[in-house]
Amino acid sequence: MKNTFRILFSLLIVFSITSCQKEEGTIYEVLDYETGAVLRTLSVNAALFNNSIPTSEFSVTVEEQDAQDGGLLESVDIYVSLRDLTSENGTTVAVDKFVKSFDASAFSTSPVGLPMATLTSNFGEAFAALGISADQVTAGDIFEMELRLNLTDGRTFGKSSAAGIITGGFFASPFVYNALIVCSPEPGTYHIDMRDSYGDGWQGGGIEVDIDGTVTKYKVPDEYSAEENPGGLTVITDAEADVEVPSGTVSLTWTWINDSYNSECEFEIYSPYGDLLLQITGDDNPSPGLLPVTFCLIN
């Protein structure tokens, strides 16, 4: 390794380009378009469902924009689909199920004069909408929460109508959000074994453990960091850590923080009983984000 004003109105554009020849060698193109509407993401407040707690909540704050600065807003619906990522209990298909609706009256006015609201759904509501049994949802699965914007002129906009220009960047209007299914974790001492295959530590990478909002980062010390390697060791290949999860913990999540050289980072995470919960090798080249580590409370 080495150390290396006003908010713009968004358009959903339907292109219809015609041309005519006004004079020889001159082409004039006319662009026809249909104005649409978006739900701009202001903040994702909660995106974890605890399958042990029916009231655990998905919550997102959005701002609505349309051709009449919110005058066309009728309602916003929440739909849910299950993305089954756990094969141990079979594969379940449950998609596009209506959960609940928020009328325009539920929206207040944002600082820029557009409709704004915090839209929520708890695990119990989303699970009931899917119409599946409890043993078909496991910690590690994902509920895809889709917002569908209904206008007073009869049109509806959702993820299927969202062009790339509005799903990211300033408008941040994906219409769909992932809510990870977690569980109340078994308390005890979880163990992490970490390695760097090159021998000079992790440079930027690490495992962040969030225990009910308290976040701690674990990593192989960086050879080039005086803070992490005050002794100035020239070879750093291994590290280990114990993570104490107290009784009564509601939420436990594990997140990989991107390293400059992910392919050289390897680790294993073990439960309090020595079960191997996750193994990452150099070939896995881990991507940043939540790690599929769950060990549910044994009742």
Q: Do domains 38-182 and 188-290 have the same CATH topology?
A: yes
- pLDDT, residue 215, reads 97
CATH number of 188-290: 2.60.40
Give the closest residue to 60 by CA, choosing from 80, 79, 44, 40.
44
pLDDT tens, 5-51?
Answer: 333 333 332 233 333 343 444 333 333 335 688 899 999 998 889 88
Average of per-residue pLDDT across 50-58: 89
- pLDDT, residue 172, reads 55
Cα-based distances in Å from 199 to 34, 227, 233? 57, 17, 10
- pLDDT, residue 28, reads 33
- pLDDT, residue 204, reads 94
Average of per-residue pLDDT values in the chain: 84
User: Which pairing describes strands 57-65 and 156-157: parallel, antiparallel, or unpaired?
Assistant: unpaired
The model's pTM: 0.65
- pLDDT, residue 52, reads 80
pLDDT tens, 217-274?
Answer: 999 999 999 999 998 888 899 999 999 999 999 889 999 999 999 999 999 999 999 9
Q: Mapping DSSP to helix (H, G, I), strand (E, B) and coil, where does residue 205 land? A: coil
Average of per-residue pLDDT across 206-214: 95
Q: Mapping DSSP to helix (H, G, I), strand (E, B) and coil, where does residue 235 land? A: coil
User: Which pairing describes strands 94-103 and 73-83: parallel, antiparallel, or unpaired?
Assistant: antiparallel
- pLDDT, residue 299, reads 60
Average of per-residue pLDDT across 90-103: 93
Cα-based distances in Å from 192 to 23, 92, 268? 74, 32, 6
- pLDDT, residue 6, reads 33
- Structure token digits, residue 108: 């207040």
Residue scoring higher pLDDT (8 or 101): 101
- pLDDT, residue 264, reads 95
- pLDDT, residue 186, reads 93
Number of H helices, E strands in the chain: 2, 19
pLDDT tens, 257-273?
Answer: 999 999 999 999 999 99
CA 295 to chain centre: 21
The CB density around residue 91, as the number of other CB atoms within 10 Å, is 10
Residue scoring higher pLDDT (119 or 230): 119
Say which residues have a Cβ less than 8 Å from residue 28's Cβ, sequence separation at least 6.
19, 20, 22
Return the CATH superfamily for domain 38-182: Immunoglobulins (2.60.40.10)
Q: What residues does 134 pair with on adjacent strands? A: none
pLDDT tens, 161-206?
Answer: 765 434 444 445 679 998 989 888 999 999 999 999 999 999 999 9
**In the predicted model, is pLDDT for residue 4 greater than 50?**
no
Which residue ranges make up each domain of the chain? 38-182, 188-290
- pLDDT, residue 34, reads 54
**In the predicted model, is pLDDT for residue 61 greater than 90?**
yes
- pLDDT, residue 3, reads 40
**In the predicted model, is pLDDT for residue 133 greater than 70?**
yes
Q: Is 33 exposed, middle or buried (0-12, 13-18, 19+ CB in 10 A)?
A: exposed
Residue scoring higher pLDDT (235 or 61): 61
Phi, psi of 178 (to 5 degrees): -95, 130
